Chains A and B, each alone.
Chain A
Amino acid sequence: DTGVSQDPRHKITKRGQNVTFRCDPISEHNRLYWYRQTLGQGPEFLTYFQNEAQLEKSRLLSDRFSAERPKGSFSTLEIQRTEQGDSAMYLCASRTGIEAFFGQGTRLTVV
């Protein structure tokens, strides 16, 4: 257990539905990251927060994706109008120094 928790661990949803994932980072970590990982690939950067400010968003992140980190604590990642191509593992990581600590991920399946 790295101290970063993600909820839910698994989510199956129908195409077109909205889903929201939560990440609770290690409490003293000011930086929080979201990644998407598909089978056989490395994690792809989606977005990153320093405290409550969203500092960068990947071009991979379409308008259907939004992330928040109210009060610089936990973060949520919402996907609206899900598509089958959104099926992936969504990973959250936090850090204060160089080493990042990852959660176990939320596996999303869009049917």
Chain B
Amino acid sequence: SQQGEEDPQALSIQEGENATMNCSYKTSINNLQWYRQNSGRGLVHLILIRSNEREKHSGRLRVTLDTSKKSSSLLITASRAADTASYFCARGGKLIFGQGTELSVKP
């Protein structure tokens, strides 16, 4: 399979809670990106982290990267119902996507 591994596959939380999603990969990377996909729609770029960075912030998003463990995590703080979507990590020039985490934020 082209895809890496993401966990959890599904996550259900209450509004206001934090959501953490993890992504693991097998080959070395120059950067890793996170995308969001609302139900049945196209993907939207959220944040990029380069291989020489360990942590990056954008608004309520925090991404970490551990190249020694070949893993990344996406943290969404103070979640909102509008954050309900599938979240994917993607790497490489061809953008190889993970299987994604389906996040449900209940009001």
Known: A41-B3, A44-B2, A58-B2. A99 touches B97 (CB 8 A): no
The answer on a CB contact under 8 Å between B2 and A45 is yes
Number of residues of chain B lying within 8 A (CB) of chain A: 23
Compute the total of residue contacts between A and B using a CB distance below 8 Å: 62
Question: Which of A62-70, A72-80, A102-110 lies at the binding interface?
Answer: A102-110
Number of residues of chain A lying within 8 A (CB) of chain B: 26
Which residues of A from 84 to 105 have beta carbons under 8 Å from B? Answer: 89, 91, 93, 98-105
Which residues of A from 1 to 57 have beta carbons under 8 Å from B? Answer: 2, 4, 33, 35, 40-45, 48, 56
Report Cα–Cα, A100/B90, bound state, in Å.
10
Q: How far is the CB of B6 from chain A (nearest CB, A)?
A: 8
Question: Which of B12-20, B38-46, B65-73 lies at the binding interface?
Answer: B38-46
